[in-house]
């Protein structure tokens, strides 16, 4: 069966001497695996289309679980993301989140638009840490692990200072904080932004400036939440940590 889809390459794995196996996140059919024969070769017509982050229209012949690429028309190469270590690292994490937390052949047009908008935002030099935070929340929701941020998960209160409990799945009021001594105290600003980011369409993200201490609070909350509920070792996130540690 010949299939034509609009998609973004979220993983490219070398296979044999000259081929690549692509994981393409598509608007129409979710994540699909495609064999791009000869894509490792410089003169191959698939070389550019098989690059990580490339957005385009892919036509492939599909029989069983994996298709064979027959044609590719690039709509946007995102080559600027790959040119700089900084942007490539964040874009790679966006791609890894998508690849690891979506199932094969499960359509999600909204999530496709969020990924494309997130890559656009990083390319446009919007704060990549904020872009990642928002997209992490999108992926957590898609995986079925959305934290509760509207009210205390223990007593239902929505008043007073709040802390975030990764283990209990959301925020705790000051009276219930003792139920989790490891809960992270949230500033009012951090909680407001988390609530905003939880429902924000990435396509509407403008220029945004967040205080470093607020951003760090949010990142700590979401990272610990992901690590508590999703047992995955994130290669690209580890690289980002090392990059930031050394001021790159």
pLDDT of residue 247: 72
**Cβ contacts of residue 126 below 8 Å, gap of 6+?**
205, 207, 208
Three-state DSSP class for residue 52: coil
Exposure string for 135-172, b = 16+ CB within 10 A, e = fewer: bbbbbbebbeeebebeebbbeeeeeeebbbbbebebbb
H/E stretch holding 213 reads helix 212-229
Instruction: Round to whole Å and give the CA distance between 197 and 200.
Output: 5
**Pick from 209, 23, 194: which is nearest to 115 by CA?**
23
Our CA angle for 122, 123, 128, nearest 5°, is: 15
pLDDT of residue 246: 79
Three-state DSSP class for residue 165: strand
Q: Work out the average pLDDT over 133-139.
A: 97
Q: Using pLDDT thresholds of 50, 70 and 90, give the confidence band for residue 193.
A: very high
Q: Using pLDDT thresholds of 50, 70 and 90, give the confidence band for residue 64.
A: confident
pLDDT of residue 244: 85
């Amino acid at each position: 069966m010949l299939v034509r889809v609009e998609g973004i390459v979220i993983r490219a794995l070398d296979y044999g001497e000259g081929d690549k196996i692509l994981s393409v996140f598509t608007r129409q059919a979710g994540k699909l695996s495609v064999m791009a024969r000869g894509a490792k070769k410089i003169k191959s017509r698939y070389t550019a289309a098989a690059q990580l982050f490339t957005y385009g229209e892919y036509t492939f012949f599909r029989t069983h679980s994996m298709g064979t690429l027959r044609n590719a028309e690039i709509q946007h190469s995102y080559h600027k993301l790959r040119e700089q270590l900084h942007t490539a690292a964040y874009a790679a994490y966006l791609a890894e989140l998508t690849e690891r937390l979506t199932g094969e052949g499960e359509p999600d047009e909204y999530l496709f638009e969020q990924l494309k908008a997130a890559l656009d935002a990083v390319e446009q030099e919007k704060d990549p840490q904020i872009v990642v935070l928002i997209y992490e929340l999108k992926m957590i929701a898609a995986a079925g692990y959305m934290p509760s941020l509207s009210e205390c998960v223990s007593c239902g209160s929505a008043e007073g200072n709040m802390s975030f409990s990764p283990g209990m799945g959301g925020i705790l009021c000051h009276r219930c904080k003792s139920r989790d001594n490891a809960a992270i105290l949230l500033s009012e600003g951090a909680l407001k932004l988390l609530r905003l980011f939880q429902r924000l369409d990435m396509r509407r993200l403008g220029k945004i400036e967040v205080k470093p201490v607020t951003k760090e609070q949010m990142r700590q909350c979401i990272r610990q939440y992901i690590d508590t509920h999703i047992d995955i070792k994130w290669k690209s996130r580890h690289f980002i940590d090392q990059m930031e540690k050394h001021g790159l």
